[in-house]
Amino acid sequence: MSIDDRTPAPHRTATASTASRASTVSPAASPERSEGSRGTGQWRHDLTSERWWWSVETFRIHGFEPHEVVPTTNLVLAHKHPQDRERVRRLLESATVSGRPFHSTHRIMDARGEERVVVMVGQGRRDPQSGEVVELMGYVVDATAPVAERAAGLADGHLRAAFAHRGAIDQAKGIVSATHGVTIDEAFALLRSTSNTHNVPVRTLAAHLVRLGDDRPADERRTLVDEYLHDPGRATGEVSAVHG
């Protein structure tokens, strides 16, 4: 299934046909959960019906009032920064086939025309009978303020390193959230607890979690994540041996 890259301009006036207030469609059995923190939203994309669902905070990150527009693939891509749009389109298209966990740090242009930096994490859900990827789901985090604060005090080299660590940690939080059915905040709390218990930096845990089971079924991936968080020292050695 391809992701349509025919994208209208991301402004209220240019999307008049969709700008009327309307209810978004939330996938069945997927009620909106409370946001873990300000600037963190949830999203789902039903690949069968092509319907998108956004949480309240996801609307706000994009500069809209809740349910002000109906999110679509075209609208989602239209709000990506022109220089980042094709990369995100390819990422989403790949995920519709592989279903693997993914993450992206990129820029968007909100409904007011303001540039924002977001971190998007997600993964696919497969139909248990057909094995086909039928849904993409995940989180989007508004990282504009933290990025601006870091940029003010970091040299370019340090900033690139900070982005790399942030991306791995955000993806690891998304992996733990998806495999264990917990919120992003709860997933990060679990990572911090493991870090403190085993004296392993969170960024190290995150890097190995990203490498764990990226091409394995969901059940097997959860088992690997559980084993790693229980004993990161032993599991790290095994992962290094496999990838070395």
Q: What contacts 35, CB < 8 A, 6 or more positions away?
A: 41, 42, 55, 56, 57
Does 174 reside within a domain? yes
Number of neighbours of residue 58 by Cβ within 10 angstroms: 25
**Percent residues over pLDDT 70 in the chain:** 68
Q: pLDDT tens digits, residue range 11-20?
A: 443 333 333 3
Closest CA to 211 of 100, 104, 136: 100
Mean pLDDT of the chain: 75
Q: What is the CATH number of the domain that holds 56?
A: 3.30.450.20
133 located within any domain: yes
Query: Is residue 242 predicted with pLDDT exceeding 60?
Result: no
Q: Please identify, among 86, 117, 144, the residue that sits at the C-terminal boundary of a domain.
A: 144
240 falls within a domain: yes
Task: Verify that 94 and 184 share a domain, yes or no.
Answer: no
Domain count of the fold of the chain:
2
Say if residue 138 is in the same domain as residue 24.
yes
Q: Which two tokens stand for residue 184?
A: 């992003």
**Highest mean pLDDT: which of 24-33, 46-55, 213-222?**
46-55
Question: Is residue 156 predicted with pLDDT exceeding 60?
Answer: no
Q: CA-CA distance, 20 to 74, in Å (whole number)?
A: 16
Residues 124 and 102 in one domain: yes
The predicted pLDDT at position 238 comes to 43
Which pLDDT band holds residue 206 (cuts at 50, 70, 90)? confident
Under the banding of pLDDT at 50, 70 and 90, the label for residue 45 is: very high
Q: Is residue 149 part of a domain?
A: no
Has residue 10 been placed in a domain?
A: yes
Question: What per-residue confidence (pLDDT) applies to 20?
Answer: 33
pLDDT number for residue 201: 87
Establish if 36 belongs to a structural domain. yes
The distance from CA 227 to its chain's CA centroid, rounded to whole angstroms, is 24
Q: What is the pLDDT of residue 153?
A: 56
- Residue 135 and residue 219 in one domain: no
Tell me the sheet residues that pair with 106: 118
Same domain, 124 and 168: no
User: Could you tell me if 117 and 17 lie in one domain?
Assistant: yes
Q: Last residue of some domain: 144, 174, 195?
A: 144
Kindly state whether residues 107 and 20 are assigned to the same domain. yes
28/138 same-domain check: yes
Q: Which residues form the domain of 243?
A: 154-244
Quick check: 71 and 54 in contact, CB under 8 A?
yes
**Contacts of 19 by beta carbon, 8 Å cutoff, 6+ apart:** 12, 68, 69
